[in-house]
């Protein structure tokens, strides 16, 4: 095991009822030579969420729909992993994985290279649609370290250091947007955030444990989304200025 991997704690978030997913993750990670810890995910079908966990009114205004229990459970599961990392590990970095990830053959090499470079607090390893990438560094197998001018969804695989874990756990509750919208507000958390392009991890195309049919039912009609449009426009502008300011400092 390399020095970089010795400094790394790996967590897999997995529902107790998702046994097959855990088996598949175990096979993948062992084939990559990565030792991990399983963390039980919060189950949205049985958990109860109060105002400490979710600001429902603000969520409706910012995201244009009602918060689904699966989305809240996902958010709190990631929060719990970050707390676990800070409380029970002395290592410098944590790799957080959802149990539906599929990894490229060079996944472990990318992790080692990112830790070697170390000029980040959070590194995003999976995502969907283009993020307006601006390359700021190189990684093995033709991959690059990039900044995203635009929002890039998904939060199934990412690296954080202890600074990021501390800032997230201090500021990310109560939830008012999904995790993949929240944890990329690097200006809010005082973090240097990057992505890897192309991504070394992707989402399995099988069924999700989040009930997206229920999520779609909770959406507001377009004519009631004025506050959502204003919020998303502000965040888009804020992200753009943050990236430009980051580039100017380099």
Domain total of the chain: 1
Query: Considering only 101-105, 196-200, 216-220, which range has the smallest mean pLDDT?
Result: 216-220
Domain with 230 in it = 3-249
- Residue 53 maps to which CATH number? 3.90.550
Confidence of residue 220 (pLDDT cuts 50, 70, 90): confident
Sign of CA dihedral 170, 114, 35, 46: positive
Given a cut of 90, whether residue 206 has pLDDT beyond it is no
144-166, pLDDT tens digit by residue? 999 999 999 999 999 999 999 99
Q: Is the dihedral of CA 210, 216, 218, 219 positive or negative?
A: positive
For β-strands 93-98 and 101-103, DSSP reports them as unpaired
Phi, psi of 70 (to 5 degrees): -65, -40
8-14/37-40 β-pairing: parallel
pTM: 0.94
């Amino acid at each position: 095991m390399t020095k970089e991997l010795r400094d790394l704690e790996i967590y897999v978030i997995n529902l107790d009822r998702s046994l097959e997913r855990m088996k598949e993750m175990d096979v993948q990670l062992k084939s990559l030579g990565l030792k991990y810890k399983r963390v039980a995910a919060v189950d949205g079908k049985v958990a109860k969420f109060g105002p400490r966990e979710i600001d429902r009114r603000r969520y409706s205004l910012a995201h244009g729909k009602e918060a689904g229990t699966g989305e809240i459970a996902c958010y709190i599961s990631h929060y719990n992993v970050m707390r676990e990392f800070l409380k029970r590990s002395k290592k410098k970095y944590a790799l957080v994985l959802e149990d539906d990830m599929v990894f490229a053959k060079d996944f472990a090499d990318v992790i080692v290279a990112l830790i070697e470079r170390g000029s980040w607090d959070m590194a995003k390893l999976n995502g969907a649609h283009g993020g307006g990438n601006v390359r700021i560094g190189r990684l093995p197998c033709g991959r690059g370290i990039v900044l995203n001018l635009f929002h890039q969804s998904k939060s199934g695989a990412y690296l954080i250091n202890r600074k990021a874990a501390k800032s997230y756990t201090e500021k990310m509750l109560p939830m008012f947007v999904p995790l993949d919208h929240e944890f990329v507000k690097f200006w809010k958390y005082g973090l240097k955030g990057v992505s890897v392009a192309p991504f070394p991890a992707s989402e399995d195309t099988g069924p999700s444990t989040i009930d997206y049919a229920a999520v779609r039912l909770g959406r507001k009609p377009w004519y009631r989304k004025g506050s959502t449009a204003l919020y998303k426009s502000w965040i888009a502008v804020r992200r753009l200025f943050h990236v430009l300011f980051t580039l100017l400092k380099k």
